[in-house]
Structure 1
Amino acid sequence: MTRPDSARRAVERLADPVVALDEDRRVTYRNDAASDRFDVRVGDALSETFPAAAVDRLREHCERASRRGEPVSVRVALEDDHAVRIHPDGDELTLAFQPVDPPSDASDASNDAPSDPTAEPAAGTPSGARTDGSTTTLSELSAGDLVASTDVAAEFELKERAINEAPVGITIASAESDDEPLVYINEAFEELTGYPAEEVLGRNCRFLQGEETDPEAVERMSAAIDAEEPVSVELRNYRRDGEAFWNKVDIAPVRGDDGEVTHFVGFQTDVTERKRAERAARRRAEELEFLLERIEGLLGDVTSAVVEADTRAEIEAAVCRRLADSDPYELAWVGERDVGRGAVQPRESATAATDATDAADAPTPDPDAEVVDAALRTGELRVSADGHAAAIPLDAEDAEYGVLVVQATRPDAFDERERVVLRSLGRAIASAINARETRRILVADSVVETELSFRDPDLSFVAVSRETGAELTYRGSVHREDGSLVSLFAVSGADGERVVKAAEDCEDVAGATLVAEQDGASLVEFDLPADAVVSTVSGHGGKTQSISAADGEGRMVVEFPESADVRSLVDDLQSRYDGTELLALRHRERPAKTKQEFIASLSDELTDRQLTALQKAYVGGFFEWPRPVTGEDLASSMGISRSTFHEHLRAAQRKLCAEFFDGR
């Protein structure tokens, strides 16, 4: 028998009362003597058990024992006077009661003196029992035995409660019986597995195993138990309702006083969530490794080919060749929507065929395929119903550059990881084409000048001109980092504040500011979204030359390179703004302006006095800070007044800015 069991039984056999209290001073344990003598029940409060006068003294000394952390004694009057020994254990207490009256004359005749509660029992007589088998009184136990018994009882109660309330499943299996049957389970084990104690006790714990339980983990457990050694494993177990869960099982042998293993204690923890997290992390790592390899290979090669290409056609041809040569693809082609025909026209294509026989059977582009239309219509990557083809729209900065279509040899080629690569590839190709088209318009000698008319009030400059009667003239825009736009308009024919108020009422204007107002003319700043009409034009490769609006009608002139797809811009604007019309398409030469020509043009605009004022200000350091020279000094060097000098300087600066901003 273990020490706690022996101590508990010894306390239960005591003829004198023993009571255990919790931190709220309610009874958590009483032996038979306490139940008989005081009618004590588990759960009773101290005040419900003893008379009020005794309760006050007991409560006072209970608090004292708790504060000191050591036993205290007190004498209280119950039916008879009792000496009470109070033993603290944290916030819990054990009370041992002993009558203090001397024994009657019928007691042991050989004992002439009053009973001594600390007297040792006769030699050979164990504490808590007489030689004739009757129960032992508390007065016949030694002080050491009493303290040990009550302390052990309290310790046992605490440990038993801790085990029952532990957040992990705890089992105890007998090592002295065949097949290690369970002799104890705690409440957490019942909650973890769904099995009640009556269905578990007496059985080996292997009933938790099932078809997906790892036999190697089971073998490791069995080998450790046979060798009487600790073991820790993780394996799939099954609850009573059949639900699988991952169980971390720790088993340790428990040895008796003789060193022999008497029991095995097991700790069982549900680690299902951790296992799921580990599997998810492994999947993410595998996906990341795949993407890195794919990006370094396919995307890296295609990007290199795109960077090296000089024209849009070269970009598209390089992309198709590289994709067609990449497993598992057998065909790649780029097509562009023909607005006039209402269909997609292939521009470049390549197949994986390497000889004449293969070439005869090689797949060909199918521009009428539903997946192609779906990609262009939604602006998103789409995979065909049979899984063999994917279409990736080529869009950049609101400009559409067609669609890239790849066809695979197997239907499972376009999983989510491959789609991530293809989306990145589509963005890279579209950005490269956009950069080439933008550069081409900047250096093109021959341009297409397109004039458009707008009447849709959703356009702020149209709505403001209609509302206020003002005439608006576009002066340029500045792009912010978030893609939004700040556009400047010169205003005439209406009060500037009225124009600002009318602009703020427009849905496409985030804010409006009156920058300057003089002589009936104003400069107003419009805060526009990223999809403003100027940005749309730029996304299609065009350059806004001018915008004007009066009486509810707006006019825009846009320059495109000779080979640009002007029709796609017109269709885009007509679909977004009602009443949009294409007024004119004019082909003209735009010779490049050299630095010398720029200087000559500016010099022609400046008067001698303006050019001199500008040159003296620049050379003299007038534009630096702090200024080494003043305007008065420069005016004196020119033999003119200070105000006249500043008038010439401002005029020169205005012409310089006009040549730079309007001449681009």
Structure 2
Amino acid sequence: MDDVDAKRGSDVGDAPGAARALDRVVDPVVAVADGTITFANEAARDAFELGEAGRDAATALGARWTRLATAIDETTVGTARQVDLEGEQGSARIHRGADGATITFDPEPTGTDEAAGSQPGASDRLVKDRALEEAPVGITISDPDREDNPLVYVNEAYETITGYEFDEVVGRNCRFLQGEDSNEDAIAEMAAAIDDERPVTVELKNYRKNGTEFWNEVTIAPVRDQDGSVTNYVGFQNDITARKEAELALERRTAELEYILDRVEGLIQDVTAVIAGSTDRSELEDEVCTRIAEADGYERAWIGERNPATGTIEIRSSAGAEPESGSIATDTDHPAAETLATTDPAVDTADGTARAAFPLSYNAIEYGVLTVLTDRDRTVDDRERVILSALARAVASGINARETSRVLATDAVVAVELELTDRSLAPVALSAAADCRLDYRRSVHHTDDETTALFTATGVSADGLVAAATELSDVDCRVVVERDGECLIKLSGAEDLVGWLSERGARTQAIESEDGRARVTLEIPRSANVRSVVEAVEDRYSGTDVVSFQQRERDRETRQEFAARLEDALTDRQFAALQRAYLGGYFEWPRPTTGEELAQSMGVSRPTFHEHLRTAEAKLCRAFFGDM
């Protein structure tokens, strides 16, 4: 025995030795390293009919070892786990160390009860003492017969875990590892278990000799003599700092997420209500900034829009404290400038305040940037960034809806002419394939949300159109009527240009396609981001050229002007036929009057009346659909 062992033996004094104390633990305890049993207490030797330590674990433990070996491999070093064994073999608790594991078996019968009552034979105490010293977990033994239940033995693993040497520990109560952050409930639970002479396992924060904290999983069990009296307490110590810190970090992240969700939930509801209730874009932007600035956690919010002429971001709406200047250069490192350049959220922290910017983009149309400033000493983490990004997308969607509705209401528009050659567009592809001219008439929306466009085709027969369309992929061409050297067709394809432009606040006025080139005329509200719409078209369709921009007032015809124009186009006979048919109920069903009766009222024959009526109806339709 070396000097340390000798010192430990002398300090233990008349109290039972470490190996002797473990021999008195009523549960079978074995230490295993590399598949070999290096120590077995008396209960384990009796239960598994073991001799000296050093036996192969698979041979000694039989079918149990397969489950135990797997569990040891799956147990993190420095932690413990409870393992249920198969059949009636009970369960076991594994304490895993760097070089092996200590296994304490459940006290339930294991099928070897007959051997359990036998007395141990001679054993190699030196081997058992060495096994205790080399056990992979900290082991302590205390003597409750002495004042304050002091420690009488600690092994080398305990010294490694705590930093205290043997002679600094023996003779002291184990509470010296506790400190100001040690959990009082766990301490009280251990004290109650010792008073009740029962085993206990707790997790609490302890302190090493150098003052550093570590999380300790402590298992304490009473050791009884043959009369059932407690002679010692044996303790197992596991440093579970890594696992515990991971658990606490998860708890903190969960608490932070719950805080964010609770705080942002109300904000989302407020902003959603603003988007639904605002009547125009300016009102929407003002209300959004106000709601964000008033929310807990934010100091200020503003919405800005790029001005390409000045190279700045001009602030449109703002709310909250510490206003920034009215414009920000797009070539600075401000997060708003970075967001517009990359279309991704950007965050920076200056003077303890985080500034976060989020793009306001919908259907590839840029509507500006939303920037928020947080409270002091608080940044914007990934979770909050995701939530605010979704909020920004909702705001952009609301702006898009206001801008799209403005197309129908405003007279101040910008007329844009574009030339497109992208063959993914059906009129471009068909005009090239059929060598014809196509002129856009209007779009037709079906009940299944499908949209087709009506075109007139000249310079080709109906059969030629259908044959050319058949050769094209993703182009559907159906002839509606063929007459006077032209065809009226329904044309659809994979790319619905008119619908796509409408979703972005642009109204298609004309599409003229010939020789694989289409001239497209758009009307965009003057207040909208015209540049962004045009850039979106250029990005979507290769070979797009801008022909012209022109600001103008949209022609608005009153009802009286429309009626006067139609009346000028009708002859007296045509006007009389249309008027008498309408007033006489000819368009109702069942008809209260006949064409014969109406003809007689005009003093003309029935065929003549119907000719005047059909001509008047045709002129009415042309006036309504914009052909006259």
TM-score, scaled to structure 2: 0.55
Equivalenced residues, count: 467
CA distance in 2 between counterparts of 1:319 and 1:262 reads 73
What pairs with 1:288-367 in structure 2 (closer than 5 Å)? 288-297=258-267, 299-305=268-274, 309-324=278-293, 329-352=298-321, 365-367=327-329
- The residue that corresponds to 2:525 in the other structure is 561
How much does 1:442 deviate?
1.3
CA distance in 2 between counterparts of 1:648 and 1:662 reads 21
Equivalent of 2:135, from 173, 179, 200? 200
What is the Cα-based RMSD across aligned positions, in Å? 6.0
How much does 1:536 deviate?
4.8
Please say if residues 479 and 485 of structure 1, whose CA atoms lie closer than 8 Å, have aligned partners that are also in contact.
yes
- The residue that corresponds to 1:550 in the other structure is 514
Please say if residues 351 and 363 of structure 1, whose CA atoms lie closer than 8 Å, have aligned partners that are also in contact.
no
Please say if residues 263 and 296 of structure 2, whose CA atoms lie closer than 8 Å, have aligned partners that are also in contact.
no
CA distance in 2 between counterparts of 1:610 and 1:278 reads 84
How much does 1:492 deviate?
4.1
CA distance in 1 between counterparts of 2:60 and 2:96 reads 20
Structure possessing the higher radius of gyration over alpha carbons: 1
Please say if residues 486 and 526 of structure 1, whose CA atoms lie closer than 8 Å, have aligned partners that are also in contact.
yes
CA distance in 1 between counterparts of 2:249 and 2:575 reads 78
The 3 A distance-change label for structure 1 pair 521 and 430 is same
Q: Deviations over 1:463-514 (max 9, x none)?
A: 332233122233545789999965554544442334324541xxxxx55354
The 3 A distance-change label for structure 1 pair 613 and 561 is same
Equivalent of 1:472, from 438, 446, 460? 438
1:381 aligns with 2:345: yes
The 3 A distance-change label for structure 1 pair 192 and 496 is farther
CA distance in 2 between counterparts of 1:528 and 1:539 reads 16
Please say if residues 449 and 557 of structure 1, whose CA atoms lie closer than 8 Å, have aligned partners that are also in contact.
yes
- The residue that corresponds to 2:94 in the other structure is 189
1:537 aligns with 2:501: yes
Please say if residues 470 and 492 of structure 1, whose CA atoms lie closer than 8 Å, have aligned partners that are also in contact.
yes
CA distance in 2 between counterparts of 1:518 and 1:597 reads 33
What pairs with 1:427-442 in structure 2 (closer than 5 Å)? 427-442=393-408
Please say if residues 139 and 235 of structure 2, whose CA atoms lie closer than 8 Å, have aligned partners that are also in contact.
no
How much does 1:527 deviate?
3.4
- The residue that corresponds to 1:392 in the other structure is 358
How much does 1:287 deviate?
1.3
1:549 corresponds to which letter in structure 2?
S
- The residue that corresponds to 1:108 in the other structure is none
CA distance in 1 between counterparts of 2:554 and 2:537 reads 26
The 3 A distance-change label for structure 1 pair 263 and 395 is same
How much does 1:281 deviate?
7.1
The 3 A distance-change label for structure 1 pair 408 and 655 is farther
2:308 corresponds to which letter in structure 1?
V
Please say if residues 503 and 526 of structure 1, whose CA atoms lie closer than 8 Å, have aligned partners that are also in contact.
no
The 3 A distance-change label for structure 1 pair 189 and 658 is farther
1:620 corresponds to which letter in structure 2?
W
2:359 corresponds to which letter in structure 1?
P
The 3 A distance-change label for structure 1 pair 225 and 318 is same
Equivalent of 2:253, from 266, 283, 289? 283
Please say if residues 246 and 272 of structure 1, whose CA atoms lie closer than 8 Å, have aligned partners that are also in contact.
no
1:295 corresponds to which letter in structure 2?
E
The 3 A distance-change label for structure 1 pair 201 and 574 is closer
Please say if residues 445 and 451 of structure 2, whose CA atoms lie closer than 8 Å, have aligned partners that are also in contact.
yes
Match of 2:328, SS? coil
1:528 corresponds to which letter in structure 2?
A
Please say if residues 471 and 550 of structure 1, whose CA atoms lie closer than 8 Å, have aligned partners that are also in contact.
yes
The 3 A distance-change label for structure 1 pair 259 and 213 is same
Q: Which runs of 5+ in 1 are unaligned?
A: 6-28, 32-156, 171-185, 238-243, 354-358, 505-509, 623-632
Please say if residues 464 and 502 of structure 1, whose CA atoms lie closer than 8 Å, have aligned partners that are also in contact.
no
Equivalent of 1:512, from 458, 467, 476? 476
The 3 A distance-change label for structure 1 pair 432 and 162 is same
2:505 corresponds to which letter in structure 1?
G
1:591 aligns with 2:556: yes
Q: Which runs of 5+ in 2 are unaligned?
A: 1-22, 28-47, 51-57, 73-90, 103-130, 142-156, 163-180, 207-213, 600-607
How much does 1:559 deviate?
2.2
How much does 1:378 deviate?
2.4
How much does 1:430 deviate?
2.0
Equivalent of 1:424, from 368, 383, 390? 390
- The residue that corresponds to 2:537 in the other structure is 573
Between the aligned residues of both structures, percent identity stands at: 32
Please say if residues 333 and 349 of structure 1, whose CA atoms lie closer than 8 Å, have aligned partners that are also in contact.
yes
CA distance in 1 between counterparts of 2:563 and 2:266 reads 48
Please say if residues 396 and 539 of structure 1, whose CA atoms lie closer than 8 Å, have aligned partners that are also in contact.
no
How much does 1:541 deviate?
1.9
Match of 2:548, SS? strand
Equivalent of 1:463, from 394, 415, 429? 429
CA distance in 1 between counterparts of 2:477 and 2:251 reads 52
The 3 A distance-change label for structure 1 pair 660 and 222 is farther
CA distance in 2 between counterparts of 1:272 and 1:649 reads 92
How much does 1:554 deviate?
0.8
1:291 corresponds to which letter in structure 2?
L
Equivalent of 2:466, from 483, 492, 497? 497
How much does 1:459 deviate?
4.1
1:204 corresponds to which letter in structure 2?
I
Q: Tell me which moved more, 217-226 or 553-562.
A: 217-226
Match of 2:440, SS? strand
How much does 1:617 deviate?
9.4
- The residue that corresponds to 2:32 in the other structure is none
The 3 A distance-change label for structure 1 pair 261 and 337 is same
Match of 2:360, SS? strand
TM-score, scaled to structure 1: 0.53
What pairs with 1:42-121 in structure 2 (closer than 5 Å)? none
What pairs with 1:479-490 in structure 2 (closer than 5 Å)? 487=453, 489-490=455-456
1:413 aligns with 2:379: yes
The 3 A distance-change label for structure 1 pair 246 and 394 is farther
CA distance in 1 between counterparts of 2:561 and 2:511 reads 27
CA distance in 2 between counterparts of 1:325 and 1:436 reads 24
Q: Deviations over 1:358-387 (max 9, x none)?
A: x8xx76653343333321122222123757
Match of 2:94, SS? helix
Q: Tell me which moved more, 264-273 or 307-316.
A: 264-273
What pairs with 1:132-211 in structure 2 (closer than 5 Å)? 161=62, 163-167=64-68, 189=94, 194-196=99-101, 198=131, 199-200=134-135, 204=139, 207=157
Match of 2:329, SS? coil
- The residue that corresponds to 1:57 in the other structure is none
CA distance in 2 between counterparts of 1:276 and 1:160 reads 34
How much does 1:573 deviate?
3.1
CA distance in 2 between counterparts of 1:257 and 1:407 reads 73
- The residue that corresponds to 1:629 in the other structure is none
- The residue that corresponds to 2:147 in the other structure is none
How much does 1:273 deviate?
8.8
Please say if residues 325 and 352 of structure 1, whose CA atoms lie closer than 8 Å, have aligned partners that are also in contact.
no
Q: Deviations over 1:92-115 (max 9, x none)?
A: xxxxxxxxxxxxxxxxxxxxxxxx
CA distance in 2 between counterparts of 1:288 and 1:648 reads 76
Q: Deviations over 1:284-327 (max 9, x none)?
A: 46414422322314x44445555554433333334444445556
